[in-house]
Copies of this chain bind each other. A is one copy, B any other.
């Protein structure tokens, strides 16, 4: 057994490493303070940590050379997309080199007949869909932020369409990565499925830059449906809305999106956009299919919603009217933050079995009341995943109550058979809960990390908790 990775002494090698990297890479290697500051944090409330330098690779060979030199000294390497992660994944807690993938952002190839696109990790999902528009194909995973595809793979992202099209694991065919030992590997070819050895594709998805650096992704695309119908329906209670969701999922209707906003979230939208939506728990639905099938599906689902107490079911197929219907969902986070000017967002992320959803939300509402918090709900309820979007301000006492709330949420989710993170990942913020949730499985993760990255150069301090690193979860404000 080698020494625990938290015992690594990064200090003694730091200046030699930086000198070697600077000599090797010249203008691709940046030491300036302003540039470094941009890579010190993500969009979350977690603490910052300045990198010693920023490296902007142009291709996989640059990445490989970086890893080879980093192993010689060693020095930490932290992959960075656009910094939209929500659990501090990109924070350089031990300094080191942030890898800026912004110049590796090509759409390498589209294989329309194979329903695949090959992209570099710095391309964002919206850039991809823009470029695909003429092909009749789309990339479906939609986490809200316009994240890079490399980042979405690294955090195992999902989003509003996961109930129909799956999360990142279902939408990545293969990866190219530079592993911690400097090897460039391809985890698979382009067949839609394969049983060829260990599933390194899925091992890298969600590994948060700690096992390898993704340099190319082969993505699965889906046909843009012939017909799309959007619908909105409000309910007397969250429990009624969730019971409608259960009924819908128990049919074979291929529904593409099932999102829930609670009354508080609707209220925030009304205040923000001067709209007059009924202030009640509201489901936002979307149906994808053929002209022959979608309207039938929508009518069928309308009846199910009304059986569960749903009112004012409205649906449209016209693009503009669909967008208008969904507007409240799309602007919810902005509207909530606007209720507390100057605040930053903490988004909780538990995910539970569908039948545990009412209980989990009930308990959460109870905690919110007793902790006296403002916390509107936005949920991918078709997956059992829901977020409380909590504005974090300068009040240290309130911040502590918010942290208590996230801890209670995780406790409840785990007790109800769920996970502390449905789609945001572990990063710095969920390390304690990972151990609580998966117990000894974390030891196996550690064996894998030690086997593949014995020097611990890739994103040290993330996912796997080390004894001396509990300070990482302290918020920026504390």
Chain A interface residues (CB < 8 Å from chain B): 111, 113-116, 136, 155-158, 162, 166-167, 169-170, 179, 181, 183-200, 202-203, 205-207, 211, 222-226, 246, 249-254, 288-294, 296-297, 299-300, 349, 351-356, 383-385, 413-414, 417-426, 430, 433-434, 437-445, 447-448, 450-452, 463-464
* List of B residues within 8 angstroms of A186 by Cβ: 438-439, 441
Q: Contacts A353-B190, A383-B192; is A226 near B206 (CB within 8 Å)?
A: no
* List of B residues within 8 angstroms of A184 by Cβ: 440
Docked-complex contact B296 and A300, CB < 8 angstroms: no
The distance from the CB of A370 to the nearest CB of chain B, in whole angstroms, is: 25
Closest B residue to A293 by CB, please name it.
Answer: B293
* List of B residues within 8 angstroms of A166 by Cβ: 166, 170
The distance from the CB of A359 to the nearest CB of chain B, in whole angstroms, is: 12
The distance from the CB of A109 to the nearest CB of chain B, in whole angstroms, is: 11
Docked-complex contact A196 and B419, CB < 8 angstroms: yes
Of B114, B292, B434, B437, which one neighbours A297 at CB under 8 angstroms?
B292
For the complex of A and B, 6 pairs with smallest distance between CB atoms: A292-B296, A451-B451, A293-B293, A202-B202, A225-B252, A194-B419
Docked-complex contact B441 and A202, CB < 8 angstroms: no
Q: Give Cα A183–Cα B197 distance, bound, in whole angstroms.
A: 23
Q: Give Cα A194–Cα B169 distance, bound, in whole angstroms.
A: 11
Q: Give Cα A463–Cα B198 distance, bound, in whole angstroms.
A: 9
The distance from the CB of A146 to the nearest CB of chain B, in whole angstroms, is: 19
Q: Contacts A252-B223, A254-B254; is A162 near B445 (CB within 8 Å)?
A: no
Docked-complex contact A289 and B252, CB < 8 angstroms: yes
A-B contact pairs, 20 of them (CB 8 A): A156-B194, A162-B193, A186-B438, A186-B439, A187-B441, A189-B419, A192-B354, A193-B385, A194-B419, A196-B430, A196-B437, A197-B438, A197-B441, A199-B199, A254-B289, A290-B296, A290-B300, A292-B297, A292-B299, A448-B451
Q: Give Cα A425–Cα B113 distance, bound, in whole angstroms.
A: 26
Docked-complex contact A191 and B223, CB < 8 angstroms: no
Of B200, B296, B351, which one neighbours A441 at CB under 8 angstroms?
B200
* List of B residues within 8 angstroms of A443 by Cβ: 183, 185
